[in-house]
Amino acid sequence: MSDIYFIGIDVGTTGAKAVLINVQGEVIDTITNNYPMQNPHPLWAEQNPEDWWMAVSKSLSEVIQKNKINPVDIKGLGLTGQMHGLVSLDKNGKPVYPCIMWNDQRTSLECEEITTKIGFENLIRITGNPVLPGFTAAKLLWLKKNKSEVYNSINKILLPKDYIRYRLTNEFYTDVSDASGTSLLDVEKRKWSDEILERLDIPKDWLPGVLESIEVSGRITNEASGATGLRPGTPVIAGGGDQAAGGIGSGSIKEGIVSIVLGTSGVVFTNSDKFRIEPQGKLHAFCHAVPGKWHLMGVTLSAAGSFKWYKETFYNSPVNSQDPYDNLTKSAVHVPPGSEGLIYLPYLSGERTPFSDPDAKGAFIGFTLRHTMAHFTRAILEGVSFSLKDCFDLISAMGINADKIVVSGGGAKSELWRSIIADLFGVEINTLSCTEGAPFGAAILATVGTGYYKNIPEACSVILKTGSTIAPDKNKFNLYNDYYSIYKELYPELKTSFKDITNITNKYYGY
């Protein structure tokens, strides 16, 4: 069994990562090759799908050659990647326009148009979400209105990871979790919505087939074999969007297990055994990569990104010193919980959950002559944690109680930050021994899709191994939640001022 391998491929925002595991889930190696992003106009974000293919091909061939793996021993490949991106192909399977990415913000008018045509409540009922500028459907309408020659040449549309599937297998498929972020899927029924397609006048035959995440979507072609080193006929599993695959990689596969990802943005993610929607669309409701399950997700846009901004803006790291983040948190450990009344609002890039507001701004509230840099450091970690609790409380209000929280991402390396979350949420915090997230989850899906494990729970029970554990402190729980009650009052009080600041900066600086 030790000579049985699986690969997870992540078509990420900055690069293509290949994670090689054995059947016991041990990570043998990880290879990443990067590619650029273009920003031809303000608020635009585009990538060339050919860049993804070149990076994926290179990552696959390098991980196979470097580890001297016989391609016959690679039993399956799972796919994941950035969600929502629009890849438009002509009848020859060639891209007719750069991929409009998840972080592209050009489609606000199209979002309004879709909401008017479908109706807000109807959108929530069918897709589980409001339509946002990053989602796929609005980008398709933008092409129709602004690039009619491109729109009229479209034969198929794909999401980023599914373009790589097409290059690997010559098949047009997506999975239910990634399709959930297009604003075109009936998320409860796990199939394309005929009602939405008809109202938006989008041909259904443009869309790929929809599979559950563990289904075999195709097999490596001879051409793809030559580019990657994989054996022709190797199964390619449907996989999942990056958050759903990351949920597999963190073990969030049943109700009661919540995943928190402390990346540049922060994600609070949980499995749902039934289709639940937050009536105002404050939480994303998508199909999970677990067949027959869904997931709920809240997002705070500046999580570890807040700490990175703070470090780069205010901290002069001594030459040949330790990791600057470690230096900062070492001093913050000695600051009392609650930072002696200093509260941070982490809205450096606007905010998504629990309120979608691009004009929200960051703020420090309550500082005095007593407060030092160590206080500000701790307040950053606490403020982001308050924002994550906004997401967590929405999930709790949906009837899902957390028995266990698994924290991952770069910010999870901080024991102080993990302990703050444990004390604020009142729930035990765990880490996992593997931190590869989405591509690791995609590789786990491949172990199930090829039959080496009978289902996802069995695979996760064998493969996932707990790292550290932190229990909550009841005394700190009360203190933190007193401060959290103040934190929740601040955004409503400042919302109008945030908008006024935006208007003034636009007026005088031309932003």
- Residue 97 forms beta bridges with which residues? 88
What is the mean pLDDT of the segment spanning 209-233?
Answer: 98
Residue for token pair 């998320």: 187
- Residue 241 forms beta bridges with which residues? 81
| Distance of alpha carbon 65 from alpha carbon 166, whole angstroms | 23
What's the pLDDT band for 319 if we cut at 50, 70, 90?
low
What is the mean pLDDT of the segment spanning 121-145?
Answer: 95
Is residue 175 helix, strand or coil?
Answer: strand
What is the mean pLDDT of the segment spanning 246-263?
Answer: 93
Residue for token pair 């996992």: 432
What is the mean pLDDT of the segment spanning 431-445?
Answer: 91
Taking each continuous run of H as one helix and of E as one strand, the counts in the chain are 17, 23
Specify the pLDDT at position 208: 98
- 351 has a pLDDT exceeding 70: yes
- H/E/C letters for each residue in 258-324? EEEEECCCEEEEEEECCCCCCCCCCCEEEECCCCCCEEEEEEECCCHHHHHHHHHHHCCCCCCCCCH
Tell whether pTM > 0.75.
yes
Classify residue 381 as exposed, middle or buried by CB count within 10 Å of its CB (0-12, 13-18, 19+).
Answer: buried
Is residue 140 helix, strand or coil?
Answer: helix
What is the mean pLDDT of the segment spanning 118-136?
Answer: 95
What's the pLDDT band for 511 if we cut at 50, 70, 90?
low
Specify the pLDDT at position 42: 81
What's the pLDDT band for 146 if we cut at 50, 70, 90?
very high
For residue 261, give both structure tokens: 């990802």
What is the mean pLDDT of the segment spanning 298-302?
Answer: 92
* Nearest by Cα to 365 from 352, 382, 353: 382
| Distance of alpha carbon 253 from alpha carbon 445, whole angstroms | 12
Specify the pLDDT at position 1: 43
| Distance of alpha carbon 465 from alpha carbon 81, whole angstroms | 24
Please give the positions annotated as active site: 242
Fold of 5-250+433-465: Nucleotidyltransferase; domain 5 (3.30.420)
What is the mean pLDDT of the segment spanning 234-262?
Answer: 94
Please give the distance of CA 18 from its chain centroid, rounded to a whole number: 17
| Distance of alpha carbon 59 from alpha carbon 16, whole angstroms | 7
CB atoms near residue 178 (< 10 Å): 36
* Nearest by Cα to 335 from 370, 307, 309, 366: 370
Q: Cβ(297)–Cβ(246) under 8 Å?
A: no
Q: Cβ(439)–Cβ(9) under 8 Å?
A: yes
What is the mean pLDDT of the segment spanning 370-379?
Answer: 97
Going edge to edge, which strands form the sheet with 235-241? 27-34, 15-22, 5-11, 74-81, 235-241, 216-219
Specify the pLDDT at position 71: 97
Task: Tell me the angle at which helices 438-449 and 242-250 cross, rounded to the nearest 10 degrees.
Answer: 80
* Nearest by Cα to 458 from 4, 6, 3, 24: 24
Q: What is the pLDDT of residues 181-209, one digit of tens each?
A: 999 999 999 999 999 999 999 999 999 99
Q: Cβ(423)–Cβ(247) under 8 Å?
A: no
Residue for token pair 């970690």: 381
Q: For residue 202, what are the contacts with CB-CB under 8 A and spacing of at least 6?
A: 137, 140, 184, 196
What is the mean pLDDT of the segment spanning 251-269?
Answer: 92
Going edge to edge, which strands form the sheet with 86-89? 46-47, 95-100, 86-89, 156-158
Percentages of the chain per state (helix, strand, coil), in multiples of 5: 40, 25, 35
- Range name among 170-179, 217-226, 500-509 with the lowest pLDDT average: 500-509
**Domain boundaries defined on the chain:** 5-250+433-465, 300-429+469-499
> CA neighbours within 13 Å on the CB side: how many for 276?
20
- Range name among 141-155, 255-269, 416-430 with the lowest pLDDT average: 255-269
Q: Cβ(18)–Cβ(7) under 8 Å?
A: yes
What is the mean pLDDT of the segment spanning 108-126?
Answer: 96
Specify the pLDDT at position 2: 57
Looking at residue 22, what DSSP letter applies?
A: E
What is the mean pLDDT of the segment spanning 20-34?
Answer: 96
* CATH tag, 300-429+469-499: 3.30.420.40
Residues shown for the chain:
511
* Angle 16-18-20 from CA coordinates, rounded to 5°: 175
* Average pLDDT for the chain: 95
Q: What is the pLDDT of residues 43-68, one digit of tens each?
A: 899 999 999 999 999 999 999 999 99
For residue 91, give both structure tokens: 């009848």
Specify the pLDDT at position 323: 84
For residue 140, give both structure tokens: 């398709």
For residue 224, give both structure tokens: 């793809």
Instruction: Tell me which H or E stretch contains 468.
Output: strand 466-470
> Same CATH topology for 5-250+433-465 and 300-429+469-499?
yes
* Angle 49-55-60 from CA coordinates, rounded to 5°: 125
For residue 351, give both structure tokens: 């905010």
Q: Which amino acid is at 472?
A: P
Output the DSSP codes for 11-61: E-SSEEEEEEEETT--EEEEEEEE---B-SSTT--EE-HHHHHHHHHHHHH
Sign of CA dihedral 373, 374, 379, 384: positive
